[in-house]
Amino acid sequence: MTTVLTYGTFDLFHIGHLNLINRLAELGDRLVIGVSTDEFNAGKGKTSVVSYEDRARIIASIKGVDLVIPETSWDQKVSDIKEHDVDVFAIGDDWRGKFDDLKELCEVVYLPRTDGISSTEIKQMLRVLDPQHITEMQEALAVMSRLLEHYRDLT
């Protein structure tokens, strides 16, 4: 029985997350995922669109995921590896080298990320729908429109 462990926020669940989970599931027989809590993310200055409870339910319902645990601190990895009898710690290669110290306890694998998608990019794209952003765009258009009228009157 090979147990695999990873951690992540998994906000606005997307194809990069699914690809990663599929690759993680192929590394062993049992997959444990630590989902970052809202409080842990707040400490990192990160805010999720989707609450911890909903992100944890989504991840738990993905084929190949056996157990979801809360990620509440940077320091829990060693005790989680021991408690869940972990053989492989794996995570996307944006973290390459960051968790090499865990090699004393288990195998450490950095998996390739899916290109061109991230929760941050989705949030930036959704920003165009933000009422404040729409108001700013309307104000900018009004200024441009007045300028164009001014130049038309001059010619």
Q: Which residues, 6+ apart, have CB-to-CB distance to 65 below 8 Å?
A: 21, 25, 31, 33, 59
Least distance from ligand CTP to the Cβ atom of residue 87, Å: 18
Alpha helices in the chain (DSSP H): 15-26, 38-43, 52-60, 77-83, 119-126, 131-154
Q: Which residues, 6+ apart, have CB-to-CB distance to 133 below 8 Å?
A: 127
Chain residues 12-71 in contact with ligand CTP, contact rule CB under 6 A: 16-17, 20
User: How many residues lie near ligand CTP (CB under 6 A)?
Assistant: 16
List 44, 82, 98, 103, catalytic entry = 44
User: Would residue 98 show up in a list of annotated catalytic residues for this protein?
Assistant: no
User: Would residue 63 show up in a list of annotated catalytic residues for this protein?
Assistant: no
Q: Which residues, 6+ apart, have CB-to-CB distance to 100 below 8 Å?
A: 108
Comparing CB distances to ligand CTP, the nearer of 11 and 87 is 11
Comparing CB distances to ligand CTP, the nearer of 84 and 113 is 113
Active site residues: 44, 46
Question: What is the binding site for ligand CTP (CB under 6 A)?
Answer: 8-11, 16-17, 20, 91-92, 94, 113-114, 117-120
